[in-house]
Amino acid sequence: MADVLTLVEARLRTGLGEPDARAAVTFLGTDRFEVLRFTDGDVVRYATLGMSAQPMTDPTAALADPVEGPRAELVLSVRGGLADTDKVLRPLAVLAASPQVEGLVVAPGASLDVGEPLWPGAPFTSVLVAEPGGLVEDLDLDDPMDPVRFLPLLPMTPNEAAWKRVHGAEALRERWLNSGTDLRDPLRKSVSLD
């Protein structure tokens, strides 16, 4: 499956440029996960590499299919220089490992929570998984493998995450849009949820 990751890294480089840093994390009983950092002006993007090596499997399935099933990597974009966002590397690797560790299928509209601030002083402990196809195009793999999707992550405050559980992902995205929320601001406050 190393070939898949080679193709994924090439697609990330095509979409985001050359990474200026990378870190690797290995969790007991899982594969190695890397997080690559890309800087584009004042925006810093962090992308996982390793989550797509294996397809995600429905936790109710009797057997995990080693070939077929959804594949994804995660991409987080923030404004650089406002907070110590490089500390997000481990939380991102934890999220990337969640399909292997917890049997999750990560898809648009899902909430992922790390249970602690994403970086020191961050008002966010969770993220909303957004629709792919913006920054990095899906990567088609040979049949019968599913394409690799590059899923943007939108940081959520605990209040936003609770509101999203009640009203849904689309309602939260509309609230952000109507309020002109800068989702890349690493220090932003919660959107008004009244």
pLDDT at 141 over 70: yes
- 139 strand-pairing partners: 148
Q: Picking from 58-67, 117-126, 184-193, which range would have the lowest pLDDT averaged per residue?
A: 58-67
How deeply is 100 buried, as exposed, middle or buried, from its count of CB atoms within 10 A (0-12, 13-18, 19+)?
buried
**CA-CA distance, 131 to 187, in Å (whole number)?**
23
Tokens representing residue 146 in the block: 């599913």
The predicted model gives 152-156 an average pLDDT of 97
C-alpha 188/C-alpha 166 separation (Å) is 22
Neighbours of 121 (CB within 10 A): 11
Confidence of residue 101 (pLDDT cuts 50, 70, 90): confident
Secondary structure class of 43 (helix, strand, coil): strand
User: 148, 71 in Cβ contact below 8 A?
Assistant: yes
Residue pointed to by tokens 């898949």: 4
Judge whether 92 and 74 are in contact, CB under 8 Å: yes
Distance of CA 5 to the CA centre of its chain: 16
Question: How high does pLDDT run on average in the chain?
Answer: 92
Mean pLDDT (whole number) for 118-128: 96
**pLDDT score of 88 more than 80:** yes
What DSSP element (H or E) covers 54?
none
Spatial distance between the Cα atoms of 90 and 41, rounded to a whole number of angstroms: 24
Intra-chain end-to-end CA distance of the chain, in Å: 48
Q: pLDDT at position 183, please?
A: 96
E strand or H helix that includes residue 18: none
Six token digits for residue 156 = 């959520």
Cis peptide, bond prior to residue 144, ω within 30 of zero: yes
34: left (phi over 0), alpha (psi -120 to 50) or beta: beta
